[in-house]
């Protein structure tokens, strides 16, 4: 849908109040009932329907009466809410022409009051060209139900967070200014997409710079996952700038190596085809020699030094979450304490270094298998813990009764009851306790006599 901001100046406070009410109602409703919109907006009697009619005329809401009478926000209405909020904040004062369009976003020029030109990116997930968002992105995580407006908001928040963090660490990215709903405001890059560049004075230098960015991202714990000629900007001074970050993942992702190799292959393929650079001879020389990799050779994911990989932890990138990291650290610390506690006091000083080395190697090599085993055996561990607790309770009761038995050893009836209780405790510990039958065991839920009860009646009559 084309963004026409001319209607924005004619909308009143009641119009934006009703738009906000529809947005709030869409948290729990796919189609918001008209009565609920009126209660949330709290306008005068009859005023809500008049405002909704005006919003329908400008295509800011959509009316749906297939199941019940209700309304939902359109992308244009969501755009107006975001733009109105950012204008009230003083981020920008005017909206200009459209400068870019992609499969999941539109980019416009905006200007501040002092004339500074910025870029406004509006995420528009759900287009026909890109609808496999649930399988291609992890915005939803554990959620099942979703709508496209909510997914666009998650994508904008994620991109703003990545852009802000990369800028703080010195990466060549646009300056992140502000974010609201599905709208991200950033500085305007004075350059051209690399896909539009036909000639370069120094293609080898640009190629090494771009490959160095891929490796540097991996060293900080992140993989771009869409690092190609469409998401690389270059200006007249051959300065390279990265854009488009919502799909970035952590180096701990299970498919991290595949994404890293794909980004590298995209750069190699583009420079080989567009600027006729040959890498086969250089890659062969690198394979034959034992020197470290430089910019002219194809970098390998296994050779990346991930010492400074902290951005994926800070931003909780896909494939890495704080909860998983905490569980993993607790699991490793527990194993280390058990292994250290099992050593004797005499050998502790002598074998301290060897034991620590064995523990670190064993834990690092078996983290994946241990975590899988822990998930699969979760149910069995719970059952064993319940049985162990029950056995301890029975054992403590039997010990108390044993003390009474020592005091009253001459009583045969008491001794007989104690022996029965011991047998019950043993059967409970072994899982052989008989089910207690009730007097209604032959009656089903409907109150009718079952087949067993009929047989019992026949036997009683005989």
Q: Mind telling me the catalytic residues?
A: 226
Determine if residue 277 is left, alpha or beta; phi over 0 gives left, psi from -120 to 50 gives alpha, anything else beta.
Answer: beta
Distance, in Å, from the CA atom of 180 to the CA atom of 23, rounded to the nearest integer, reads 14
Name the maximum alpha-carbon separation found in the chain.
Answer: 109
Residue given tokens 């967070």 in the structure block? 161
Residue of 198, 199, 267, 206 whose CA lies nearest to 231 = 267
Q: Is 349 exposed, middle or buried (0-12, 13-18, 19+ CB in 10 A)?
A: exposed
The contacts of residue 391 (CB under 8 Å, 6+ apart) are: 425, 428, 429
Distance, in Å, from the CA atom of 40 to the CA atom of 321, rounded to the nearest integer, reads 36
The contacts of residue 329 (CB under 8 Å, 6+ apart) are: none
Distance, in Å, from the CA atom of 417 to the CA atom of 3, rounded to the nearest integer, reads 86
CB atoms within 10 A of CB 243: 21
Distance, in Å, from the CA atom of 185 to the CA atom of 176, rounded to the nearest integer, reads 6
CA dihedral 55, 1, 114, 185 (to 10 degrees): 110
Contact 249, 162 (CB under 8 A): no
Contact 215, 206 (CB under 8 A): no
CB atoms within 10 A of CB 141: 8
Residue 101 forms beta bridges with which residues? 106
Determine if residue 126 is left, alpha or beta; phi over 0 gives left, psi from -120 to 50 gives alpha, anything else beta.
Answer: left
Pairing of strands 222-223, 183-187: unpaired
Pairing of strands 117-123, 240-242: unpaired
Report the length, in residues, of the chain. 462
Contact 176, 167 (CB under 8 A): yes
Pairing of strands 232-234, 240-242: antiparallel
Report helix, strand or coil for 95.
strand
């Amino acid at each position: 849908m084309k963004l026409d901001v001319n209607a924005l100046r004619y909308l009143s406070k009641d119009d934006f109040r009703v738009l906000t009410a529809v947005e709030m109602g869409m948290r729990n409703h796919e189609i918001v009932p008209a009565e609920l919109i009126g209660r949330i907006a709290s306008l005068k009697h009859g005023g809500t329907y008049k405002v909704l009619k005006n919003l329908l005329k400008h295509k800011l809401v959509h009316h749906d009466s297939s199941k019940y009478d209700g309304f939902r926000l359109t992308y244009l209405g969501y755009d107006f809410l975001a733009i109105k909020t950012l204008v009230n904040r003083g981020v920008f004062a005017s909206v200009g022409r459209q400068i870019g369009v992609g499969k999941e976003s539109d980019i416009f020029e905006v200007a501040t009051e002092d004339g500074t030109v910025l870029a406004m990116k509006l995420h528009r997930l759900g287009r026909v060209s890109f609808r496999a968002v649930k399988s291609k992105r992890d915005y939803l995580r554990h959620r099942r139900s979703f709508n496209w407006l909510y997914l666009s908001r998650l994508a904008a928040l994620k991109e703003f967070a990545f852009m802000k963090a990369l800028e703080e660490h010195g990466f060549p990215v646009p300056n992140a200014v502000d974010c609201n709903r599905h709208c991200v405001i950033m500085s305007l890059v004075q350059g051209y997409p690399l896909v539009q560049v036909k000639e370069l004075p120094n293609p080898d230098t640009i190629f090494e710079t771009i490959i160095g960015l891929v490796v540097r991202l991996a060293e900080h714990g992140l993989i771009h996952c869409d690092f190609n000629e469409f998401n690389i900007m270059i200006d007249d001074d051959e300065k390279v700038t990265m854009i488009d970050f919502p799909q970035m993942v952590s180096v701990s992702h299970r498919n991290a190596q595949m994404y890293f190799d794909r980004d590298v292959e995209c750069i190699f393929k583009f420079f080989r085809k567009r600027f006729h650079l040959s890498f086969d001879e250089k890659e062969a020389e690198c394979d034959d020699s034992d020197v470290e990799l430089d910019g002219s050779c194809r970098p390998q994911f296994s050779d990346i030094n991930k010492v400074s990989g902290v951005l994926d932890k800070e931003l909780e990138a896909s494939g890495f979450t704080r909860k998983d990291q905490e569980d993993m650290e607790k699991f490793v610390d527990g194993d280390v304490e058990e292994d250290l506690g099992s050593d004797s006091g005499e050998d502790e000083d002598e074998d301290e270094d060897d034991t620590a080395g064995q523990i670190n190697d064993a834990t690092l090599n078996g983290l994946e298998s241990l975590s899988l085993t822990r998930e699969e055996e979760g149910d069995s561990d719970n059952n064993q813990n319940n049985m162990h607790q029950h056995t301890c309770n029975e054992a403590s009761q039997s010990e108390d009764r044993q003390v009474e038995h020592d005091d009253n050893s001459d009583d045969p009836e008491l001794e007989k009851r104690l022996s029965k209780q011991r047998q019950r405790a043993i059967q409970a510990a072994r899982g052989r306790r008989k089910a207690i039958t009730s007097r209604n065991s032959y009656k089903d839920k409907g109150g009718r006599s079952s087949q067993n009860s009929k047989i019992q009646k026949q036997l009683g009559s005989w």
